[in-house]
Amino acid sequence: MSVITNIEDLRVLAQKRVPRMFYDYADSGSWTESTYHANTSDFAQMKFRQRVAVNMENRTLKTKMVGQDVHMPVAIAPTGLTGMQHADGEILAARAAEKFGIPFTLSTMSICSIEDIAAHTSKPFWFQLYVMKDRPFIERLIERAKAAKCSALVLTLDLQILGQRHKDLKNGLSAPPKLTIANILNMMTKPRWCMGMLGTPRRNFGNIVGHASDVSDMSSLSSWTSQQFDLALSWKDVEWIKRCWGGKLIIKGIMDAEDARLAVESGADAIIVSNHGGRQLDGALSSIAALPSIVAAVGEQIEVHMDGGIRSGQDVIKALALGAKGTYIGRSFLYGLGAMGEEGVTKCLKIIENELDLTMAFCGLTDVKKVDQHILIPGTY
Ligand SMILES: Cc1cc2nc3c(=O)[nH]c(=O)nc-3n(C[C@H](O)[C@H](O)[C@H](O)COP(=O)(O)O)c2cc1C
């Protein structure tokens, strides 16, 4: 294997090592994928002002997200089925994040359960909640997250209906994978992945199977899930969840200034400007393009975070320059995980840290908390 120096190297290796069905699940967007691609290409348009002869000693990337110390303003985004990119994927990514000093967010639709992550980590992690019709189940999930000492709840509002990803339909995406001839042939070319999966009992939705009523196996799970996302979700539900949870609440999936104002009124501590990594409304703005108007609307009242398209430390600092107080990575860490397990996630974080640190210095700053739009060339953002 050649030397890995950037996130693209991790992506290429993940593509070799992860079965097609799960690699495609990560590396795609909805419909024409225009928003998915805009998430990265809009970052590429933005240009830095390079500064020289500025003292670059004693640099720091340390800051806070929702009042919690972070080694750099980057958290691991919640991603479903992460334990299918690599055996025990959520545990491995949570461990890498903990050692690095950044937040790990566990998805409702994870393979490893809340309790699995709590048993394998020692610092608090964050839990992401989808609102299901079965409210007693939601209350139990919140109680489980409290019992696991999760230090923030990330409430995702942009997936009550599902954007269509063509490849997932064509591949017949499922967890565990259906053993069709095509899948078996493809998995036979991924021996590391197969060995890992054979060595773990965690191959199903750990937060749901055995916890939701009437869900005990795969077929009951898929019909339960397809009926459970609550189409009638409203801001009243958000307030109810805020009361049930009682701790730090981060609302994810905000792309509009008006919704951002409503999120402030609902009592959230932070919002994430996010289009779900281009997986939901194809044709929506990229997250980085949506960020400035949302920061202008609510940035004084609430912490604004963002995700979507971050593949480097340069992308992180561009988001900070436009007013984000924190960022999240989805695919970047998934590629690391699929490529090399925990070591790959650590590699991903180190790559981003190094790029962020050097870019900040090139722009003439030594403290990440001081980054603002002055580091950017006007007219490029
Ligand atoms: C494979 C995959 C699964 C995802 N699953 C979830 C999920 O379960 N819950 C959620 O809130 N967001 C989910 N997301 C969205 C991410 O949290 C995040 O918004 C997105 O990945 C950011 O874009 P990026 O991948 O370009 O960094 C998922 C994204 C991917 C790529």
359 pocket-lining for ligand 1 (C-beta < 6 Å): no
pLDDT class for 226, splitting at 50, 70, 90?
A: confident
pLDDT, tens digit (0-9, with 9 covering 90-100), for 152-174: 999 999 999 999 999 998 988 88
pLDDT for 217 beyond 70: no
- Complete domains list, the chain, with CATH: 7-375 (3.20.20.70)
pLDDT class for 219, splitting at 50, 70, 90?
A: low
C-alpha dist (Å) from residue 372 to 105, 285, 322, 365: 26, 22, 7, 10
C-alpha dist (Å) from residue 197 to 88, 94, 115, 162, 204: 8, 18, 19, 28, 11
Summarize the confidence of residues 233-245 as an average pLDDT: 97
24 pocket-lining for ligand 1 (C-beta < 6 Å): no
- Tokens coding 374: 């002055």
> Residue 211: what pLDDT?
84
Between the CA of 79 and the centroid of ligand 1 the distance, in Å, is 5
How far is it, in rounded angstroms, from Cα 371 to Cα 363? Answer: 9
Between the CA of 355 and the centroid of ligand 1 the distance, in Å, is 22
pLDDT, tens digit (0-9, with 9 covering 90-100), for 286-335: 999 999 999 999 999 999 999 999 999 999 999 999 999 999 999 999 99
Average pLDDT, the chain: 96
Summarize the confidence of residues 127-142 as an average pLDDT: 95
pLDDT, tens digit (0-9, with 9 covering 90-100), for 53-108: 999 999 999 999 999 999 999 999 999 999 999 999 999 999 999 999 999 999 99
Taking only Cα atoms into account, the Rg of the chain, rounded to an integer number of angstroms, comes to: 20
Between the CA of 280 and the centroid of ligand 1 the distance, in Å, is 10
Angle at CA of residue 275, ends 367 and 220, nearest 5°: 125
277 pocket-lining for ligand 1 (C-beta < 6 Å): yes
How far is it, in rounded angstroms, from Cα 125 to Cα 93? Answer: 11
pLDDT for 220 beyond 90: no
> Residue 24: what pLDDT?
97
pLDDT for 274 beyond 70: yes
> Residue 377: what pLDDT?
98
pLDDT for 214 beyond 90: no
107 pocket-lining for ligand 1 (C-beta < 6 Å): yes
Pocket test for ligand 1, best of 79, 105, 271 (most atoms within 8 A of CB): 79
The DSSP element (H or E) to which 145 belongs, if any, is: helix 135-147
- In contact, 320 and 327? CB cutoff 8 Å: yes
Between the CA of 53 and the centroid of ligand 1 the distance, in Å, is 40
pLDDT for 369 beyond 80: yes
Angle at CA of residue 308, ends 262 and 6, nearest 5°: 155
How far is it, in rounded angstroms, from Cα 131 to Cα 239? Answer: 12
Q: Please list the helix, strand and coil fractions of the chain in percent, rounded to the nearest 5, in that order.
A: 45, 10, 40
DSSP state at residue 368: G
pLDDT for 227 beyond 90: no
331 pocket-lining for ligand 1 (C-beta < 6 Å): yes
Write down the catalytic residue from 37, 276, 305, 374. Answer: 276
Residues near 154 by Cβ (< 8 Å), separated by ≥ 6? Answer: 78, 105, 126, 127, 128, 129, 250, 251, 252, 272
Most confident region among 167-176, 179-188, 214-223, 274-283 by mean pLDDT: 274-283
309 pocket-lining for ligand 1 (C-beta < 6 Å): yes
25 pocket-lining for ligand 1 (C-beta < 6 Å): yes
CA 252 to ligand 1: nearest atom: 11
pLDDT for 136 beyond 70: yes
CA 272 to ligand 1: nearest atom: 19
Q: Is 211 a catalytic residue?
A: no
Q: Most distant CA pair in the chain: distance in Å? A: 66
Between the CA of 308 and the centroid of ligand 1 the distance, in Å, is 8
